[in-house]
Chains A and B, each alone.
Chain A
């Protein structure tokens, strides 16, 4: 059964190639998305867990201690990936919101809702690990510098989206309102982050530079990159799992979900 709202308004094929276009159509169909995400997860989830384990063991056990911070710096292997992915997650959420607003695609709305709690959790993790790292390094649990503050603001932005979604009884309107709010937040994030440059802080300037010379040793950098990649994959896995639950919840009265459950009972 194909309902009208799975369709997206036709664009000329010169803009998107025909294959791409049918892929986009399929992306809007809950049963297809449910099955493809299941297939992706079957591979991605074990890879993610293995990469997380390797990165963590490599970073924590097999890198040299920092000459000034000793062993305490090793929390970087949790702190940096979670902050990087927390920020990227907001953009994923906002872009999904934009897609759901522009093309009225229900599955984009599901994707947006799936991002918010994961992003909030990662932001919280980044703040907690930063605070634990701050105690031995700066001698205090909490410093009001720009980067810590902007992560805190990011947490507020995430929580605002979640709170707005919960406040609406009409979940269709809730999705749209959250999409608008997350887009507003997306415009504001660079403004908030730019305050890093102006705001006096105890926080060191960024150590990883892709353009200039890095001030962190490469032997410490490889496990860090692995952890960042693993956290991205973890975010994707969690997002897909959240989406699958939400798809089942929304489609619980449709035939394909009933058939799916029936089949699982008999397997």
Chain B
């Protein structure tokens, strides 16, 4: 049996990750449940006044997206690290860049894409004007890709550590901040009727940069973690 080509290998890896995720639907559901619960926290904390909630909704939704992404990215490499399959992947002759990209892609499809699809419901619950919902979904769709790319850097650097959970948020949250700025600005702009295109374009540019560079950092991080 001949070895698969790089792209084919990447595709297979992506399918493996998605299959693993689909076989444990709870793992997919957990971030969404987390999202729902935290959405419920804000009216309880800030008061149920609809106009006030509508003001805060873009920021609230983006922050929760940030947190749910952060909490899930900790687990991206962990099980494969623990059972040794990650080490096999590092030893394989396939380019690590694409291998890592497959992991990130799977993570984004499972968390970011679903979040972007489901966010209109939460936007309505927080009284976000209907005109801004499309922008919210689009900005989340793009922005969560960036969050996954950055989150996996932290995951790769902390995967070998026993107490990774808290540490990864210290490492990665500062890097998330530009995404938060532009993501919530896009939605806020859409609320008052200004074009969201420029903000989305900036997020898109950051995603391009991150696709080019983040897998290199992740690959280096994984090698360090496996060596340690």
Contacts and interface: CB of A to CB of B under 8 A. Distances in A.
Is chain B found bound to chain A in the same assembly?
Answer: yes
Contacts of A191: 178, 206
A164 B174 contact: no
| Size range of the chain B interface in the assembly | 20 to 34
B37 interface: no
Contacts of A198: 181, 185
Contact of A173 (B163, B178, B209, B227): B227
A25 to B, nearest CB: 25
Interface of B is mostly: helix
A163 B174 contact: no
A184 B181 contact: no
Contacts of A149: 177
A41 interface: no
A148 interface: no
Nearest to A176: B224
Interface in A182-197: 183-185, 187-188, 191-192, 195
A168 B163 CA distance: 10
B167 A167 contact: yes
A241 interface: no
B102 to A, nearest CB: 20
B170 A159 contact: yes
A222 B160 CA distance: 51
B26 to A, nearest CB: 29
A184 B175 contact: yes
Given A163-B167, A173-B228, A188 B181 contact: no
A221 B173 CA distance: 37
Contact of A177 (B170, B174, B178, B221): B221
B157 interface: yes
B157 A101 contact: no
| Size range of the chain A interface in the assembly | 20 to 34
B158 interface: yes
B217 interface: yes
Contacts of B185: 198
Interface in B201-225: 206, 209, 213-214, 217, 220-221, 224-225
Contacts of A192: 174, 177-178
Most buried by A among B161, B171, B225, B228: B171
A113 to B, nearest CB: 15
B217 A184 contact: yes
A199 interface: yes
A187 B213 contact: yes
Nearest to B214: A184
Interface of A: 101, 149, 153, 156-157, 159-160, 163-164, 167-168, 170, 172-173, 176-177, 180-181, 183-185, 187-188, 191-192, 195, 198-199
28 contacts: A149-B177, A153-B174, A153-B177, A156-B174, A160-B174, A163-B170, A164-B157, A167-B161, A168-B161, A168-B228, A172-B228, A173-B160, A173-B224, A176-B224, A177-B224, A180-B221, A183-B217, A184-B153, A184-B175, A184-B214, A184-B217, A185-B175, A187-B213, A188-B178, A191-B178, A198-B181, A198-B185, A199-B181
Given A173-B227, A183-B217, 13 more contacts: A164-B158, A167-B158, A177-B221, A180-B153, A180-B217, A184-B214, A184-B217, A185-B174, A188-B178, A192-B177, A198-B181, A198-B185, A199-B181
